[in-house]
Amino acid sequence: MFVVMFLIGILTAFVGSIAGLGGGVVLVPVLLFLGEEFASFSWVNPQSIVGISLVVMIFTGLSSALSYLKHDRVDKKIGYLFLIGSVPGGILGAWLNQYFKTDGFSLFFGLIMLVVSALFFLPRRQADAPLFKKGMEREKVVDGQTYTYRMPVAFGLGLSFVVGMLSGLLGIGGGSLLTPAMILLFSIPPHIATATSMFMIFFASISSSGTHILLGHVEWAHTLYFIPGAYLGGMIGAKVNRKLNGKLVEWVLRVLLILIAVRLISQGIG
């Protein structure tokens, strides 16, 4: 059991760190599947899954964020802005999670993932023709190249609150929604968006998981098995991300999210 959970922790954190999703977008569906197919995972339900996912993402986010910070890929100012909205949103979502049953949870999760994957097929706005003409202007240098983009403060706060609520509700860390939003709406380069997402996920997961702990949703006997693998997978994923080009990162996101969405929707309907 420990070996299985350790390997799941590595895999989910590795994928989540590469794509800036936080790992929950993979961990939650995996646990739903295991709970449905194997008696040894009979303890699985929407509350325990989300509680585990958010606690594990603290360590995924920590290892990934430290690696990204070391290589100066995180836009900390935007990360702090998103935290102002996502922390209260995450607390609200964690409280709402207690009213979900497994089938409804799977269906709703799958639909959200399908929407997110569809976002990546929208045409990318050029950096010289941004969607928002006003907002906090940012400049970031990565690998010797300078990128400029804008972040509308009010819109960013509202978006991060909604994303935080879905994160606390579904255990997906917020990165699965914030990463495509940063890339598509604000023309932030994928590498910066991914790194900033993981930085935000670390802090946001602390508040969301704290609410789940208070509500008694965290199965500590099982959660502790995932953490070592998640920390290791987060470091490896951040390292691999630095070697990939932005377009490849986006295609990984597209394929992964569609596969997860189809599996969860079929499970929720069935």
pLDDT band at 20 (very low <50, low <70, confident <90, very high): low
- pTM equals 0.74
- Contact between 130 and 145 under an 8 Å Cβ cutoff? The reply is no
At residue 99, φ and ψ (nearest 5 deg) are -95, 5
pLDDT at residue 231 tops 60: yes
For the chain, the domains span 2-269
pLDDT at residue 143 tops 90: no
Q: Token pair of 43, please?
A: 């303890």
pLDDT at residue 199 tops 60: yes
- Distance between CA atoms of residues 199 and 72, nearest Å: 12
Q: Token pair of 237, please?
A: 């994923």
In which residue are the tokens 């295991």 written? 34
- Contact between 175 and 201 under an 8 Å Cβ cutoff? The reply is yes
Instruction: Give residue 157's pLDDT.
Output: 92
Q: Token pair of 178, please?
A: 């914030």
pLDDT of 30-63, one tens digit each?
887 888 778 888 888 878 888 888 888 888 788 8
Q: Which residues of 116-152 are buried (b: 16+ CB within 10 A; e: fewer)?
A: bbebbeeeeeeeeebebeebeebebebeeeebebbbb
Residue 39: how many CB atoms within 10 A of its CB?
6
pLDDT of 106-133, one tens digit each?
787 788 778 777 776 766 655 555 566 6
Instruction: Give residue 129's pLDDT.
Output: 58
Average pLDDT of the residues in 213-237: 85
At residue 45, φ and ψ (nearest 5 deg) are -150, 170
Q: What percent of the chain has pLDDT over 90?
A: 5
